[in-house]
Amino acid sequence: MAFIHRRGLLLAAGGLTLASLTGHARAQAPAAPAAPPTGPFTLPALGYAFDKNEAAIDARTMELHWRFHHAAYVNGLNTVLASQAALASMPLDELVMNISRAPENVRTQLRNFGGGHANHSMFWEIMGGSGGEASGPVRAAIDRDLGGWGEFRNRFNAAAMSVFGSGWAFVTVTPTGALAIVTKPNQDTPLMDGQRVLMGNDVWEHAYYLRYQNRRVEYVGNWWNVLNWDRINARHAAAVAGTLKV
Ligand code: MN3
CA distance 213 to 237: 36
Kindly report the average pLDDT of the chain as a whole number: 91
pLDDT of 154-211, one tens digit each? 999 999 999 999 999 999 999 999 999 999 999 999 999 999 999 999 999 999 999 9
| d(CA 182, ligand 1 centre) in Å | 17
Q: pTM here?
A: 0.87
Contacts of range 237-241, beta carbons closer than 8 Å, 24 or more positions apart: 237/137, 239/173, 239/174, 239/175, 239/177, 239/196, 239/198, 240/175, 240/176, 240/177
Instruction: Give the strand order in the sheet containing 179-185.
Output: 179-185, 167-173, 196-202
Q: pLDDT tens digits for 112-159?
A: 999 999 999 999 999 999 999 999 999 999 999 999 999 999 999 999
Cα 187 to ligand 1 centre (Å)? 8
The total domain count for the chain is: 1
User: Distance from the CA of 73 to the center of ligand 1, in angstroms?
Assistant: 10
Q: Is residue 122 part of a domain?
A: no
Question: What b-and-e string marks burial along 148-184, b requiring 16 or more CB atoms within 10 Å of the CB?
Answer: eeeebbeebbebbeebeeebbbbbbbeeebebebbbb
Interval between CA 62 and ligand 1 midpoint (Å):
10
Interatomic CA distance for residues 115 and 98, integer angstroms: 12
Cα 183 to ligand 1 centroid, rounded to whole Å? 14
> CA-CA distance, 172 to 236, in Å (whole number)?
10
Contact 198, 232 (CB under 8 A): yes
Per-residue pLDDT tens over the stretch 213-246: 999 999 999 999 999 999 999 999 999 999 999 9
Asked whether residue 164 is assigned to any structural domain, the reply reads yes
Residue 156: which CATH number?
3.55.40.20
In a domain, 99, yes or no: no
Enclosing domain of residue 221: 136-241
